[in-house]
Amino acid sequence: MLSLIYDPDLFTLKLDFCSIFLCAVLKLNHHPFRAHFLRSCCPLFLTSFQSSLLLLNASSEENPEFWRSQAQKTLQSVLDRKLNTNVAKNILFFLGDGMGITTYTAARILKGQLQNQTGEETVMTMDTFPNVGLAKTYSVDFQIPDSAATATAYLCGVKTNLNVIGVSAAARNGVCKSQKGNEVTSILKWAKDAGKSVGIVTTTRVQHATPATSYAHSASRKWYSDADMPDAAKRDGCTDIASQLLKNTDIDVIIGGGRKYMTPKGTKDPEYPRDYSSRGKRKDGRNLINEWQSMKIGKVAHYVWNKTDFDAVDPETTDYLMALFEPGDLRFEAERDPNMDPSIVETTEKAIRILQKNPKGFFLLVEGGRIDQAHHAGRAFMALHETVAFDYAIAKGLELTKEQETLTIVMADHSHPVTFNGYPFRGQSILGKSPLWATDMLPYTTLMYGNGPGHKITNGKRPDIRNVNTKTKDYVQLSAVPTESATHSGEDVAVLARGPMGHLFQGVQEQNYIAHAMAYAACVGADQRHCPFFSANTIDLTPLVTSGKSEVRVIEERNTSAGWMCQCGFLQSILSRF
């Protein structure tokens, strides 16, 4: 009987006497802490429960000294922190699409559990960032935003309307004419204009909302290729997102999916030649991959579509890389073919190694783009595994860069209606079920959705999941309300920062503030107050930042000169023309 109540994978005990007792107690629905009540009422159960746990550290956690010394260590490391006011040479910007705080916490637990830990105490790489703030994500027209409006906020510094990319809120969704004159540029362009190398890495198609906003202006996020545009928009002079990938900013590294938007209609996909839906989409007959290659003549530029060729790309000798691993979005990490497609860790590493050759530094956007798509499908397993992979990519980013000179940001664009509920025991699978039944005498999963495709009510009852394995990759969690796809949700998202001027990313801020703070920190874009006196892109008199102690000293001197520079705006504007 007990095995009906407790997650069978974790709690294999069969204590019939105890379970009968528990079932009786379960009827006392009003008690808010039944789990604790049960434990204290049933010592036999408690003992068995503990011995069945994966807890490696239970005994140390019972000792108050464990918590005191851990907290003291944390306190000391916070006290030892020094303000890093350097000019950021590099910006490493990690964007978890749809990675709300619930997803973040749940992924942390999963990450630990995949290493056979209880999970809750796991320290993710993102957890180590010293600065944390919250961003308010609403768009100009909606309380709950989409990835296009939010990307325009955090990349271009301007809040806008749902579904539009790189244009202000004066533009209207889908109306080409309203786009003209309302374009806003992104920090990727500001960084390129300042002489840095720039790149995008995503797990979606590279024309998808988040990466697209770094290089395109479009009244609709859906204008992936010209075939996706209404004739009126084409007549009015708007162009598709894929074509803007080649046109607007000279991007050094482009990694993701989206081959089919680059080739003429009917072009067979090299990986899926028999699949009709994978074929080229373009009506204008252009082959943007070929065009891109011919634009790069005289440079070392590689286009690759599979892992063999990707692995062969030598970052030391490569100027440009375009890697498109799928006709559309990449596969979920849990379903990826490791022989054909690299992981987000591998793509992040390759991008950084190519970009960091530039002595003036780089801007790299790395998007964990499918956390969102998994949540839309109500598949918590996939969303969390995508997030864990994303955290490993962040770890790779930190490993390859120096905190003194690299501003690393981790944030989400918006959240999802996934909830983390019940009273699961410590160490219980994050993809498991509530140990205690609901009032309908059925268990429920720890993670559930407010809306989404997982809604099922038959004869007034929820599905009975007692014998269902909820930890499989295809399991769709229950949702309260039926929608074909889960929506986004509107609560604030976390912003984590590390490196030069990381302390700017604190407090509760509007999401469009992020672009301004990043640009200030790296001395790119219009606000030049944090720039060294002789900025690297104007006059090459100051030696560029090297490494070690001298680097800090050089930068401090620069900061001092920047102090009076800010009072002489006219001088700056003259200098920056050189």
Ligand X SMILES: *[C@@H]1O[C@H](CO)[C@@H](O)[C@H](O)[C@H]1NC(C)=O
**Site track 354-383 with Zn ion (rule: CB under 5 A), x = hit:** ------------------x-----------
Let me know: does 430 contact 110? Beta carbons within 8 Å: yes
Question: How near is the Cβ of 234 to Zn ion at its closest, in Å?
Answer: 27
The Cα–Cα gap between 447 and 477 comes to 7
Q: What is the DSSP letter of 261?
A: G
Query: Measured from the CB of residue 17, what is the shortest distance to ligand X in angstroms?
Result: 30
Q: Does 270 bind ligand X (CB under 6 A)?
A: yes
308 binds ligand X (CB under 6 A): yes
Provide the residue count of the chain. Answer: 578
The string of DSSP letters for 288-353 reads HHHHHHHHTTTS-EEEE-SHHHHHH--TTT-SEEEEE-SSSSPPPGGG--TTTS--HHHHHHHHHH
Q: Are 413 and 97 in contact (CB under 8 A)?
A: yes
The reply, when asked if residue 309 is annotated as ligand binding, is: no
How far apart are CB 115 and ligand X at their closest, in Å? 4
The binder of ligand X chosen from 127, 275, 309, 474 (CB under 6 A): 309
- In angstroms, give the least distance from the CB of 222 to ligand X: 29
Q: How many residues of this chain interact with ligand X, rule: CB under 6 A?
A: 7
Does the annotation list 367 as a binding residue?
yes
Whose Cβ is closer to Zn ion: residue 149's or residue 200's? 149
Q: Per CB under 6 A, which region of 176-184, 254-262, 306-314, 444-452 contacts ligand X?
A: 306-314
Point out which span in 25-33, 56-64, 302-310, 516-524 binds ligand X (CB under 6 A).
302-310
Nearest residue (CB) to ligand X, 270 versus 285: 270
Region near ligand X per CB under 6 A, out of 80-88, 226-234, 292-300, 301-309:
301-309
Residue 145: CB partners within 8 Å, gap ≥ 6?
A: 137, 138, 139, 162, 413, 414, 488, 490
488 is in an annotated binding site: yes
> Minimum distance from CB of 376 to Zn ion (Å)?
6
The sheet with strand 131-136 has its strands ordered as 301-304, 320-324, 253-257, 197-205, 362-368, 90-96, 406-412, 493-498, 131-136, 507-510
C-alpha span between 385 and 466 (Å, rounded): 24
Measured from the CB of residue 10, what is the shortest distance to ligand X in angstroms? Answer: 13
What angle, 0 to 180 degrees and rounded to 10, lies between the N-to-C axes of helices 101-114 and 380-400? 80
Closer by beta carbon to Zn ion, 372 or else 391: 372
Q: Residue 372 binds what, of Zn ion, ligand X, none (CB under 5 to 8 Å, by partner type)?
A: Zn ion
The three-class DSSP label of residue 131 is strand
The answer to the question of residue 338 lying near ligand X (CB under 6 A) is no
Report yes or no: 344 and 389 within 8 Å, Cβ to Cβ: yes
Does the annotation place 416 within a ligand binding site?
Answer: no
CA angle 10, 14, 17 (to 5 degrees): 135
Output 372 or 405, the one with its CB closest to Zn ion: 372
> Taking CB within 5 to 8 Å according to partner kind, which of Zn ion, ligand X, none is near residue 115?
ligand X
Residue nearest to Zn ion (CB): 372
Task: Give the shortest CB-415-to-Zn ion separation in angstroms.
Answer: 10
Confirm or deny that 127 is annotated as ligand binding. no
Residue 116 interacts with which of Zn ion, ligand X, none, CB < 5 to 8 Å by class:
ligand X
Residue with tokens 């989206």: 258
Nearest 5°: the CA angle 254, 260, 264 is 115
Distance CA 244, CA 188 (A): 14
Q: Which is nearer to ligand X, 312 or 541 (CB)?
A: 312
291 neighbors 312 (Cβ within 8 angstroms)? no
* Structure-block tokens of residue 340: 């054909």
Q: Which does 467 bind (CB under 5 to 8 A by kind): Zn ion, ligand X, none?
A: none
Give min distance, CB of 311 to ligand X, in A: 10
Q: Binds 459, which of ligand X, Zn ion, none (CB < 5 to 8 A, cut-off by type)?
A: none
> Catalytic residue among 19, 147, 434, 479, which?
147
Q: Is 31 annotated as a binding residue?
A: no
Which region, judged by CB under 6 A, interacts with ligand X, from 13-21, 143-151, 304-312, 450-458?
Answer: 304-312
Residue 282 near residue 261, CB atoms below 8 Å? yes
For ligand X, which is the closer residue by CB, 309 or 335?
309
The tally of CA atoms less than 13 A away on the side-chain side of residue 100 is 25
Backbone angles phi, psi at 95, to 5 degrees: -120, 115
Q: Is 1 or 340 the residue whose CB approaches ligand X more closely?
A: 340
Report the alpha-carbon distance of residue 486 to residue 380 in Å, rounded: 11
Using CA atoms, how far residue 39 sits from 28, 48, 60, in Å, is: 14, 10, 20
Our answer to whether residue 69 is catalytic in this structure is: no
Instruction: Give residue 355's identity as a one-letter amino acid code.
Output: L
Q: Which of 76, 115, 294, 547 binds ligand X (CB under 6 A)?
A: 115
Q: Is 376 annotated as a binding residue?
A: yes
CA distance 426 to 442: 21
The reply to whether 414 sits in an annotated binding site is: yes
Q: How far is the CB of 257 from Zn ion (least distance, A)?
A: 16
Q: Is 306 in the site for ligand X (CB under 6 A)?
A: yes
Applying CB under 6 A, does 274 fall inside the site for ligand X? no
The span of 35-43, 239-247, 305-313, 520-528 binding ligand X (CB under 6 A) equals 305-313
C-beta closer to ligand X: residue 335 or 464:
335
The C-alpha atoms of residue 547 and residue 88 are separated, in whole angstroms, by: 13
Q: Which is nearer to ligand X, 302 or 558 (CB)?
A: 302
- Rounded Cα distance between 126 and 163, Å, is 29
Residue position matching structure tokens 């700056």: 572
| Interface residues toward Zn ion, by CB under 5 A | 372
> Which residues contribute to the annotated binding site for Mg(2+)?
97, 208, 210, 367
What does the binding site for ligand X look like in residue numbers (CB under 6 A)? Answer: 115-116, 270, 305-306, 308-309
Q: Which residues are catalytic?
A: 147
Give binding residues as ranges. 97, 208, 210, 367, 372, 376, 413-414, 488
